Amino acid sequence: MASTPQVATGGAAVPSATADARTAAPRRLVRAALLAVPLLALALWTAIPFLVTISVSLKTRGEVFGNFGLLPHNPTLNAYREVIADPAFRRAFLNSVVIGVGTSLLTLTLAVPAAYAFARMRFRGRHLILLFVLLPRLVPDVGTMVPLYKMAAAANLIDNPLSLIIAYSGMLLPLAVWLMAGFFQQIPVEIEESASVDGATLWQRIRYLVLPLAAPAMITVFVLAVREAWNEFTLVLVLTSSAEGRTLPYALFLMGHGGISNYPASAAFALITLVPFLLVYTRIERHVVASLTSGSSK
């Protein structure tokens, strides 16, 4: 008699579990669709312009207007050969590399000690000053064009890569200080205290302990600085006046303003400009993600 209710209870639980499973399956499907549709739309939004650019770069100038499909009738690499053989492209590419690397090194040189001071030292108004550090990021680039031009002209730095390196470093420095300060705060202070007990100086602690542990944040700042210098256009327009100082965005802009546009060459130019940065980013993506999410668990 005691087993009959258990059997009945068990028998009643089976239809209930089955009903729950049947209602849960549509919910999971709806949830997956709600996630998949925006992601698919974002992927298409990103991929379609990229695919169109690749298609145009593989066409001839006449086929660009005669064939609107993605697949060229007679694919050719003439546009890439034309761009690579152009001295203006090689000069602009070298300028972009020099300015990008110079911006990264100067930004790291200034951001590391400032961020370490905010992360480790305790002084009055520390949080307020750190907040004010971000204020320059609120100023639009157009608003700084005239002051930067006047200062560069007064220092005789027009058409000098150093003027762009200093300007780009100033634009990125607030963000770099915030990223580095957040990462330094994640490093246990006990590591430095132990090294200090063993006789390590402040410079030795930073050089041999803090900086190696902060490598992901430094790589992130390096990439952001290179990207800032690689893609920026307005300040190049203001601080350069000859072909010797132009970078890739300015050189690409001039390609469309020299009479009849060469669309395959312009597309090839854009892809050659983009590919090196993508290759570098794919190699260090995990370091960038680790640095940007370092403060999420704090």
Per-residue model confidence as pLDDT tens digits over 114-127: 999 888 888 777 77
Q: What is the greatest pairwise CA distance in the chain? A: 102
Per-residue model confidence as pLDDT tens digits over 214-258: 888 888 888 888 888 888 888 888 898 887 888 888 888 887 665
Q: Is the pTM of this model over 0.85?
A: no
pLDDT of 295 over the 60 cut:
no
Report how far residue 58's alpha carbon sits from residue 73's, in angstroms, rounded to the nearest whole number: 9
Cα dihedral sign, 275-280-283-288: negative
- Label residue 285 by pLDDT band (50, 70, 90): low
pLDDT at site 3: 47
Report how far residue 145's alpha carbon sits from residue 171's, in angstroms, rounded to the nearest whole number: 12
Q: 4 or 39: whose pLDDT is higher?
A: 39
Contacts of 75 (CB under 8 A, 6+ apart): 58, 59
pLDDT at site 257: 64
Share of the chain above pLDDT 90, in %: 12
Six-digit token pair at 195? Answer: 């090294």
Is the CB of residue 95 less than 8 Å from the CB of residue 243? no
Nearest to 272 by CA among 72, 95, 53: 53
Contacts of 246 (CB under 8 A, 6+ apart): 88, 91, 92, 95, 236, 240, 254
pLDDT of 200 over the 90 cut:
no
Torsion of CA 129, 130, 134, 135, to 10 degrees: -10
**Domain definitions of the chain by residue range:** 3-57, 79-292
pLDDT at site 6: 47
Class of domain 79-292: mainly alpha
Rounded mean pLDDT of 170-197?
86
pLDDT at site 297: 44
Question: CA of 141: how far to CAs of 14, 88, 137, 170, in Å?
Answer: 66, 26, 9, 11
Looking at every residue in the chain, the average pLDDT score rounds to: 81
pLDDT at site 165: 93
Question: What is the DSSP code string of 49-105?
Answer: HHHHHHHHHTS-HHHHHH--SSS-SS---HHHHHHHH-HHHHHHHHHHHHHHHHHHH
- Label residue 108 by pLDDT band (50, 70, 90): very high
pLDDT of 144 over the 90 cut:
no
Report how far residue 138's alpha carbon sits from residue 38's, in angstroms, rounded to the nearest whole number: 30
Q: What is the DSSP letter of 138?
A: G
Q: How many CB atoms lie within 10 A of CB 186?
A: 15
Per-residue model confidence as pLDDT tens digits over 53-69: 899 888 888 888 887 77
Q: 195 or 26: whose pLDDT is higher?
A: 195
